[in-house]
Amino acid sequence: MLCLGIETSCDETAVALCDDGRPVLEKLASQARLHAVFGGVVPELASREHLRCLGPLLDALFAESGLTLAAVDAVAVARGPGLLGSLLVGLAAAKGLCLGAGKPLIGVDHLHAHLMAATLGRAVAYPALGLLVSGGHTQIVRLDGPLAMTVLGRTIDDAAGEAFDKAAKSLNLPYPGGVYIDVLGRGIAPDRTLFPRPYLDNDHLNFSFSGLKTAVAAYVAAHPELRTPAMPDAVGPIDPEAWPMALRRVCASLNFAIAETLRVKLVRAMDGQPAPVASLLAAGGVAANGPIRAMLAEVAARRRVPLYLPEPVLCADNATMIAATGCLLGRAGLTHDLSLAPIPRGRKVPWDYQTAPPAAAGSVDSRSVPQ
Amino acid sequence: MVDAGSPPGAGPLLVIDGVTPQLGITLGRPGEAFLHRRAATSGSSAETLVPRIADMLAEAGVAPAALGGIACVRGPGSFTGIRVALATVLGLSRGCGVPMAGLDYLPLLAATAARQATGVVVAITYARTGQVYLQTFLADGEPLPMGPPVALTVAAAAVAVADAAAVGPLWLVGEGAQRSRDAFLAAASLATILGPETHDPAPEILLAAAARARYSHTPIEPLYLRPCDAEENLAAFAALRGLSPSEAEARVRDATSTLA
């Protein structure tokens, strides 16, 4: 099954083709440099950029892949959770394509797709435990199959990525700041007592990062010399050696605090499952963070389970993950009609697929997500 | 490269107007029987627009690929409404291979008014945040624009209306004129403010404009007329980041003109 994927959940405009789950080609336009000037994503600007970029990206995707829309079996689109105005652009274009070309529409849960990015091309053993960490989301989920996802814990306020981004903003580093914090902290011993590891003194799997965000902001306010005088333009590689050691230690300490917090809850989740966890997955932009990747590798090694991480390029928002998840859903005969609604951030994406005869034979687990 | 475009093909024309919550879809050719639906969207136009188009095409027995052209009102109006319509049309056009054309909203309103008005027609629509979109036309049959469409405060729009009153008999059309009628009548007491039946372009006007439009496969550029609030406050954001206003402007311009 050849699936076209469209992703416009936040500030990346992306289109991709996947053939039976195998990535064919992706075309992506990032808006990070634009939003960096404002210190965070401006929703109206993001929506305008999605509309501006979508046509040229689609044209380039088909021109460079040598494929045509006629060869596409289904159009998959991120339907949320995300920024409503941004989602609407991708959703409207996807529906137009479906009506114009007579293709089925498959709305994809953006978070589900992030986790599926870690399974691409791999024979993942289930049940798997998944850690989803991005600028908008922090969740621990259990996957009993590729299409059977249960959320075990989530952030009650800010996402881990939000803590990184706001820390970077207080240091006057460009949005998205997680990359800067990661690179600047590399190779530096963290001060383990500098920042709290929040919300661990409980017995559940939820997260809270708002206190950590405030702690970093307060520390920077008390040490204003840490702030970069003029925000650098977010272009090209970052040379950590060019930055003050005090700033790099703050970055290393924040990386440590967040990685440790995630580790404690992840281990707790692994211990609390009815059946032994057979593999570990992680996804989302923050899963590209070096110390978090190292923590995950260590947990997986100790528990003797395989760890599946997406390639770094598939950690951030992308359309390959949407197209690949679309292939899984399409093969299971799961589609949407053209009245599909977007789901804004903070709301659960319903499992509301219509069942059509499976498009192709396959051993796909199509049990619905428990509501 | 801008494609100057070609006249539409021989098939029926599909015209989509999503700049107000009264979502309009028209299907047909000028002077022939046509289908027209205009109704408030329940919730988001993203949920209702494509199913309504699909229903109308089915009712007319027209396959998408048999359309002569797909025209879409590109603004000014609701930013989100414009985008949902334009993104839908982009997908539809790419999906069925039929070219598309953008139509400007205020000339459509003026042409609708010109069916009963002769003289000067000022199209004024509601733009939120105390503003209106305004364009002035000389109307004797087909309206001729006397200037470009602009976004103005109601007070500035009243000045423009007073200026227009000096040219000839004055007609105001659009929801923006209705909402602030007192301000406009204070500026031009003899102006005629047309009623709600003219607040949306008439289907015959939409089809006539669609038949005259130039079609291509280049995505239609939206006509927002206004930057978003954050862009209007760019200097303040720049100061927080330690950037000069010109440096911040350069970065925004650079980031919104490339595709990398």
Same domain, B168 and B48: no
Which residue among B47, B87, B238 sits closest to A51, beta carbon to beta carbon? Answer: B87
Q: What is the CATH number of the domain that holds B123?
A: 3.30.420.200
Average pLDDT over residues A51-57: 98
Question: Is residue B66 in some structural domain?
Answer: yes
Domain count of the fold of chain B: 2
Q: By residue range, what is the domain housing residue B52?
A: 13-105+201-224
- Asked whether residue B161 carries a pLDDT value surpassing 50, the answer given is yes
CATH of the domain at B71: 3.30.420.40
Considering the domain architecture, whether residues B17 and B136 belong to the same structural domain is answered as no
Burial of residue A242 (CB within 10 Å: 0-12, 13-18, 19+) is exposed
- The answer on pLDDT for A366 being more than 50 is no
In a shared domain, residues B206 and B174:
no
Structural domain includes residue B229: no
pLDDT 10s digits, A1-46: 999 999 999 999 999 999 999 999 999 999 988 998 888 899 999 9
pLDDT of residue A235: 61
Mean pLDDT over each residue of chain A, to the nearest integer: 92
Segment B92-116, tens digit of pLDDT:
999 999 999 999 999 999 999 999 9
Label residue A340 by pLDDT band (50, 70, 90). very high
Q: Are residues B143 and B220 in the same domain?
A: no
| pLDDT at residue A116 tops 90 | yes
**With contacts defined as CB-CB under 8 Å, which chain B residues touch A58?**
94
Determine the residue among A8, A338, A354 to mutate to test chain B binding: the one whose Cβ has the most chain B Cβ atoms within 10 Å.
A338
Q: What is the pLDDT of residues B28-61, one digit of tens each?
A: 999 999 999 999 886 678 899 999 999 999 999 9
Structure confidence at residue A356 (pLDDT):
72
Is the pLDDT score of B130 beyond 60?
Answer: yes
Per CATH, A2-115+315-355 and A125-309 having the same topology is answered yes
**pLDDT, mean of residues A102-114:** 97
Do B123 and B92 lie in a common domain?
Answer: no
Between chains, do A45 and B237 touch, taking CB under 8 Å as contact? no
Confidence category of residue A332, pLDDT binned at 50, 70, 90: very high
| Contact yes or no for B254 and A37 at CB 8 A | no
Question: What pLDDT digit, counting tens, does each position of B183-201 carry?
Answer: 999 999 999 999 999 999 9
Q: Distance (Å, rounded) from C-alpha B255 to C-alpha B260?
A: 9
User: How far apart (Å, rounded) are the C-alpha atoms in residues A239 and A227?
Assistant: 17
Domain-located, residue B246: no
- What is the model's pLDDT at position B229? 86
Residue B183 inside a domain? The answer is yes
At residue A68, the pLDDT reads 97
Mean pLDDT comparison of A154-163, A354-363, B6-15, highest-scoring range? B6-15
For residue A173, give the chain B residue with the closest CA: B241
Q: Over the stretch A256-304, which tens digit does the pLDDT of each residue have? A: 999 999 999 999 999 999 999 999 999 999 999 999 999 999 999 999 9
Same domain, B93 and B33: yes
Residues of B in contact with A340 (CB under 8 A): 47
Clarify whether residues B94 and B129 are in a common domain: no
Q: Are residues B131 and B188 in the same domain?
A: yes
Superfamily of domain A125-309: ATPase, nucleotide binding domain (3.30.420.40)
Contact (CB, 8 A) for B142 and B162: no
Average pLDDT over residues A313-337: 96
| Predicted confidence (pLDDT) at residue A350 exceeds the cutoff of 50 | yes
Which CATH architecture is the domain A2-115+315-355 placed in?
2-Layer Sandwich (3.30)
- Express as a percent the part of chain A with pLDDT over 70: 95
Residue B1 has pLDDT above 70, yes or no: no
CB contact under 8 A, B237 and A31: no
**Overall average pLDDT of the A228-240 stretch:** 81
Pick the closest to residue A334 from A296, A360, A308, A300 (CA basis).
A360
pLDDT above 90 for A325: yes
Could you give the ipTM of this predicted complex? 0.96
Closest partner residue to A38 (CB to CB) among B79, B83, B230 is B230
In a domain, residue B252? The reply is no
Residue A202 pLDDT > 90: yes
The structural domains of chain A, with segments of one domain joined by +, span: 2-115+315-355, 125-309
